[in-house]
Structure 1
Amino acid sequence: MAELMKAVQYSSYGGGPAALQHKEIPVPAPDAKKMLVKVEAASVNPVDWKIQGGIGRPLLPAKFPHTPGTDIAGEVVKVGSEVKDFAPGDKIVAWLDTKHGGSLAEYAVASPKYSVVRPSEVSPIDGACLPVAGLTALQGLTNGGMNFDGSFSGNVLITAASGGVGTYGVQIAKIGGAHVTATCGERNIDLIKSLGADEVLDYKTPEGKKLISPSGKKYDLVLNTASAVSFADIQPQLAPKGIVFELNPTPKNLLVAAARKLSLSKQRYNVLLLAAESRNLELLVNWVKEGKLRTIIDSKYPLAKAEDAWKKSKEGHAVGKVVVTVTEE
């Protein structure tokens, strides 16, 4: 008889937090190229509940019922015959592919391609928060010309900076040497300043709505994580060769991005889709280890209350990351 584990699943599109079901299902078996991980902690990202809502329909998820979630920290308990760089007992941070998910469970199958060793200085909770939010922020900034050798001196705007991507993005941009302007609600201004932002705009003020930098600087690079902010809002404050990375892949934004590619303007607008790489995840983990990057935790929930974590993320007001603890309390 197969060993069973606790997992959270949904069986169809839609339904939100109420559609999440607590089940006992067989522990998954990794193939020759994968490994089985005992999950210590996981984090919830907006893409998780957007997939439930049908944003990737019919390609995502791979099948129903679906165990959602992609971000984990845990311990390797079994490796496939072709896995060479990891062994049982290794503590790791991993990104699970979006199509298959699997983080909201006691065990998950991870690929070595998207996994890195987690040093003891990095807690399971910190590790579990890094993959989607940290990698997205890092990818946008590096794609925009930041290489962390001290040569980047541009002005960066990060909208909705109090979210998961934003809190990492502000810190990573400062590591890269940028001048950082960030937007957030009034209650989070001090937090975003503490993460290193040079200027913080309350998005509800006239200046905040127009994204006007207090220093008068135009933006060379923008990470737009705010769904209410459009390219039309950003463009008046964008440098002549400025580039915007849009994190909300709506049909409208995809059309705008396509149109911009056909224009003669040197101002660029790209919808950013995560392309996870272990070397980037390793960089993030090392920054946490070295104390250069910290994770802002909004709230923590046990696996038995995963629907509350789902609801908290979906409400859109989380400051930093929403965490689900599995074996890590």
Structure 2
Amino acid sequence: MSAPCLAATVEQFGDASQLRVHEVPAPQPRAGQIVVQVAAAAINPIDVRRRSGYGRKLFGLMGAARLPLVLGSDFAGTICAVGPGVTGWREGDAVFGAKPPSRQGTHATHVALDAAHVLAQPAGIAPAQLATLPYNFLTVCRALAGAGITRDSVLGRKVLLHGASGGLGLIAIALLKQLGAHVTAVAGERGLAACGAAGADLVLDRRRHPLESLPRQFTATLNFAHWDDDAQLVSRLAPGAVGHATTVHPLLAQIDRYGIAGGALAALYCKRRSAAATPRGTRYAWTVFRPDRDALNWLAEYAVMIPAAPTLQAFRLIHVAAAHHYVEQRCAGRAVLLPSPL
């Protein structure tokens, strides 16, 4: 690597002023790993929250919260080094993927990660767009699986999707339509057009159509919006429904508040109470991000079919604080870092 290696690091948990961009040692691939020169890396809401200290107790158990911390999971770039035991990849290959939570994330010019967590870049999609897909796609796949959603279970049936205009929601709409579901998408006014463009059969403004006003007719429900709405979503399930999954559960918040043991018990209580409100035989799941090879293979097949983010705001790595502000302000679309040497 002739170019300097730069990273956006969190020096102390807090606001965006804690972010610093500076030169770091070049990562070296261990057995089974590759090093990627990052062309683009998405900033997800979880990155902004982790910067402030959210989830530090649980992530700390994974070695993913020690300071200084480099955030980021998604990336698109080019392989610049291959470690021992890696087959099927070589220097110069264009790849994209998602790295599990760590303290050496993708908001850097170079990142080392397991070769199992990457895919070849498909033709016709820019790296900045590709970088917005893996984290959300893999999270959505886990939510579908947790809710028991398959082609057989939702073909021709109604699925209710809350928080449909965000990064998770738009991908979920596309996948549910591929599975043959009839999708009802609930979103804010600004996101309604994007939901329709993604293929939703019915698009509802959450302010004009409160969840409690919807009929109890859905075979599955998905919550990508607010934990406080989870009970209302579960109550929209029809008898004999397949299941419900949420990505906005309080697991990390409870552990942050009460510690590992106490927080896990508090979260388990919340989960059991919510699960008890589902129709008999219905699945109920809390979803967290985790790389999965089968889901990555599915992403390789469907990447070209997923609608592009309606707005893509690119930031140079040196402007990482501004990118965090963009996400915190819930601006439309996705924020993407374009790492490059100073």
Q: Does TM-score exceed 0.5, indicating one fold?
A: yes
Aligned mate of 1:208, from 199, 207, 210 = 210
Separation in structure 2 between the aligned mates of residue 324 and residue 27 of structure 1, nearest angstrom: 19
Tell which deviates more after alignment, 85-94 or 262-271: 262-271
Task: Show the 5 A alignment for 1:216-227.
Answer: 216=215, 218-227=217-226
Q: Which residue of 1 aligns with 2:11?
A: 11
Separation in structure 1 between the aligned mates of residue 77 and residue 188 of structure 2, nearest angstrom: 34
2:40, 2:75 within 8 Å by CA — same for their partners in 1? yes
Unpaired stretches in structure 1, ≥5 consecutive residues: none
SS of structure 2 residue aligned to 1:189? helix
Using a 3 Å threshold, how does the CA distance of structure 1 residues 27 and 148 change in structure 2: closer, same or farther? farther
Using a 3 Å threshold, how does the CA distance of structure 1 residues 129 and 272 change in structure 2: closer, same or farther? same
Q: Name the aligned partner's letter for residue 47 of structure 1.
A: I
Identical aligned pairs, as a percentage? 25
1:174 aligns with 2:177: yes
Q: Name the aligned partner's letter for residue 298 of structure 2.
A: L
1:293 aligns with 2:303: no
Separation in structure 2 between the aligned mates of residue 209 and residue 159 of structure 1, nearest angstrom: 9
2:143, 2:285 within 8 Å by CA — same for their partners in 1? no
- In the TM superposition, what whole-angstrom CA distance separates every residue of 1:239-298 from its partner, at most 9, and x where no partner exists? 224322111131376532133556884344321112311331232233223xx2122134
Separation in structure 2 between the aligned mates of residue 239 and residue 194 of structure 1, nearest angstrom: 27
Q: Could you tell me how far 1:126 is from its partner in structure 2? A: 2.2
Q: Which residue of 1 aligns with 2:332?
A: 319
Separation in structure 1 between the aligned mates of residue 299 and residue 269 of structure 2, nearest angstrom: 32
SS of structure 2 residue aligned to 1:77? strand
Separation in structure 2 between the aligned mates of residue 162 and residue 145 of structure 1, nearest angstrom: 22
2:146, 2:283 within 8 Å by CA — same for their partners in 1? no
SS of structure 1 residue aligned to 2:41? strand
Q: Compute the TM-score of the two structures, normalised by the length of structure 2.
A: 0.85
Tell which deviates more after alignment, 2-11 or 68-77: 2-11
Q: Which residue of 2 aligns with 1:272?
A: 287
Q: Could you tell me how far 1:85 is from its partner in structure 2? A: 2.3
SS of structure 1 residue aligned to 2:39? strand
Q: Name the aligned partner's letter for residue 308 of structure 2.
A: T
Using a 3 Å threshold, how does the CA distance of structure 1 residues 39 and 76 change in structure 2: closer, same or farther? same
Q: Which residue of 2 aligns with 1:28?
A: 27
Separation in structure 1 between the aligned mates of residue 102 and residue 222 of structure 2, nearest angstrom: 25
Using a 3 Å threshold, how does the CA distance of structure 1 residues 51 and 194 change in structure 2: closer, same or farther? same
Query: Which has more helix, going by share of residues?
Result: 2
Q: Could you tell me how far 1:233 is from its partner in structure 2? A: 1.6
Separation in structure 1 between the aligned mates of residue 187 and residue 154 of structure 2, nearest angstrom: 28
Task: Show the 5 A alignment for 1:14-93.
Answer: 15-60=14-59, 61-93=64-96
Q: Name the aligned partner's letter for residue 301 of structure 1.
A: F
1:70, 1:101 within 8 Å by CA — same for their partners in 2? no
Q: Could you tell me how far 1:77 is from its partner in structure 2? A: 0.6
Q: Name the aligned partner's letter for residue 307 of structure 1.
A: A
Q: Could you tell me how far 1:129 is from its partner in structure 2? A: 0.9
Using a 3 Å threshold, how does the CA distance of structure 1 residues 103 and 111 change in structure 2: closer, same or farther? same
1:211, 1:237 within 8 Å by CA — same for their partners in 2? no
CA RMSD in angstroms comes to 2.5
State the number of aligned residues. Answer: 319
Tell which deviates more after alignment, 23-32 or 52-61: 52-61
Q: Name the aligned partner's letter for residue 226 of structure 1.
A: A
Q: Name the aligned partner's letter for residue 325 of structure 1.
A: L
Q: Could you tell me how far 1:143 is from its partner in structure 2? A: 3.6
